[in-house]
A and B are shown apart, each in its own frame.
Chain A
Amino acid sequence: MEQIVDLIKESVIFNSQAHIEMTENAFYEPVGNGTEVSMLKWLQKCEIPVHEIMASREGRILCHVPFSSMKKRSLIAVRHPVVEDLVRVYVKGAPEIVLNNCNYQFDVTGSTIRFDQDAHTYVTEDIVTGQMCS
């Protein structure tokens, strides 16, 4: 489970165009696109040292496709700061598009299983359209 939390943290922080600034009263505050800022603030609320993790990707970005309204997703490849010999590619964006390129998912125990058509429809229709949009 721990590893999934770490993955989510990294996905949000590494794959972000926002940056962290220090305010006058010495708080770290994310600045940038509204959606990214809200996600970073959410992590900050969970007492995660966002600025430290953000600083650890410095110089390790191998390639980057910034978010654009045409592509509707952003992609970044980071040479992992902790794990040796690992390049991790993070994709973040509109569910319809990101999910089409997913072939695996996690099960309750935290091991990876196939992400099949059923799971795909479950996520896009039941969760995204059915619950999140209402």
Chain B
Amino acid sequence: MALSYKNYTCEEFENMRERLNNFEHEDDILQLEKDNIFLGVFALHDPLRPRVRQVVSYAHKGGMNVRIVSGDHLETVKALAIDAGVLPEEAVQDHVSAEVQRNYAMEAADFRNLVGGVEEIKGEDGEITFAPKNQQAFEQIIDTLKVLGRADARDKLLMVAGLAQMGKKVAVVGDGINDLAAFKVAHVSIAMGSGTSLAKNNSSMILATNDFEACMKAVMWGRNIYTNIRRFLQFQITANFSVLLVVIIGTVQLTESPFNAVQLLWINLIMDIFAALALATAPPLANVIRQKAISDDTPILSKVIWRQIYGITLWNVVVMSIIIFAGKTLFGLEYVGATQATDNTLEGLAKK
């Protein structure tokens, strides 16, 4: 950060004010900074939070790419990015040419020139989507590009819009008013708890403790819920298919259902509820991050799941059929009226 100043007498200042449209516009006021006296430069050291490096490597494992778009000096951001593990260290060593280094970290102004700024596209339904003017150039450089320095709100928007156009899922972490444009375009917007309330009100998630680690927890739980829903669906479909088939086969062969109402209720109420609860509330394992991200067109029931559903249903039906049709002889049971013995419904009791 640099400081500079300039002295005016009151009269000079009033003259300037008259000359510059009464300072109606900020640009008029900025005319005052011409011919300044340089006072000093300052640098502040803002240490990384502990564990950021771990969180970033965790993100990389999960197939997520971390990029930094910052208003700070490019060299500052580079140093920070290396500490955080966002930028590979070999990318900015001295023997690497400036050209190659620019592939990894770029001044935001250069980036904007290359990509050609952001463009508004009005959809047929009046929805506005943003895209870089030169999407091809964007896609060429984006793979290695990790860091933008001296960026402003437009560059954030440009970065997010370009990635979204490529069909990527984008999450933006921000804390100020200048992040709002990017928040709107991003799929997930994350505001820092210490940020302005405007940013917090317009975000989909707030980091209450200002800890980036929470983002990864959100990803972990998100992926876990998806897995749990799959497990739950697989269980429900298998159980219901099995019962359905057994009832059909039993009814056709024995002229009445092998299960009575209480048994069916038992299956549906007790087993389904408790088993489903157990499956749906399973906490995430740490390695859930290693799963690939789920894309939009992935069906929730994959081929493997369907195969398991069919297989287990078949197994259930076969076992049940053996017990129903050959159970008595197989286990050497000697009793009469197996159906009557279990017939404890009101109708059954009335018959007795």
Q: Name A residues whose Cβ lies closer than 8 Å to a Cβ of B.
A: 4, 7-8, 10-12, 15, 34-35, 38-39, 62-65, 68-73, 75, 77, 79, 85-96, 98-99, 101-106, 112, 115, 123, 127-129, 132-134
Contacts and interface: CB of A to CB of B under 8 A. Distances in A.
Contacts of B23: 63
A77 B2 contact: no
Contact of B38 (A10, A12, A96, A104): A104
A45 to B, nearest CB: 14
Contacts of A8: 3, 39-40
B10 A87 contact: yes
Given A65-B30, A94-B1, A134-B79, A87 B37 contact: no
A68 B178 contact: yes
Nearest to A102: B38
B76 A115 contact: no
B34 A101 contact: yes
A77 B13 contact: yes
A50 B76 CA distance: 29
Given A62-B13, A105-B37, A132-B76, A93 B2 contact: yes
A128 B17 CA distance: 34
Closest 7 CB pairs of A and B: A133-B75, A132-B43, A102-B38, A98-B2, A87-B13, A95-B2, A104-B37
Nearest to B34: A101
A19 to B, nearest CB: 15
A71 B30 CA distance: 10
A103 B5 CA distance: 11
Interface residues of B, number: 45
7 contacts: A35-B1, A70-B178, A94-B1, A96-B73, A123-B41, A132-B43, A132-B73
B2 A94 contact: yes
B169 interface: no
Contacts of B33: 73, 75, 89, 91, 98, 101
A129 to B, nearest CB: 5
Given A90-B5, A98-B3, A133 B73 contact: yes
Given A15-B3, A86-B8, A88-B5, 13 more contacts: A77-B32, A86-B10, A87-B8, A89-B32, A90-B3, A94-B1, A95-B41, A98-B36, A106-B38, A127-B41, A128-B73, A132-B73, A134-B79
Interface in B1-54: 1-13, 17, 23, 26, 29-30, 32-44, 46
A75 B29 contact: yes
Contacts of B154: 70
Contacts of B29: 63-65, 75, 77
B343 interface: no
> Which residue, of A4, A62, A88, has the highest number of chain B Cβ atoms within 10 A?
A62
B21 to A, nearest CB: 12
B38 A92 contact: no
B117 interface: no
B78 interface: yes
B32 A112 contact: no
Contacts of B6: 88-89
A101 B4 contact: yes
Contacts of B152: 69-70, 72
A91 B5 contact: yes
Contacts of B150: 72, 94, 96
A24 B178 CA distance: 32
Contacts of B43: 128, 132-133
A78 to B, nearest CB: 10
B174 to A, nearest CB: 11
B193 interface: no
B81 to A, nearest CB: 12
B42 A39 contact: yes
A32 to B, nearest CB: 11
Given A69-B153, A128-B73, A132-B76, A91 B36 contact: yes
A99 B38 contact: yes
Given A89-B33, A99-B38, A128-B41, A11 B5 contact: yes
B73 A95 contact: yes
Contacts of B37: 102-106, 112, 115
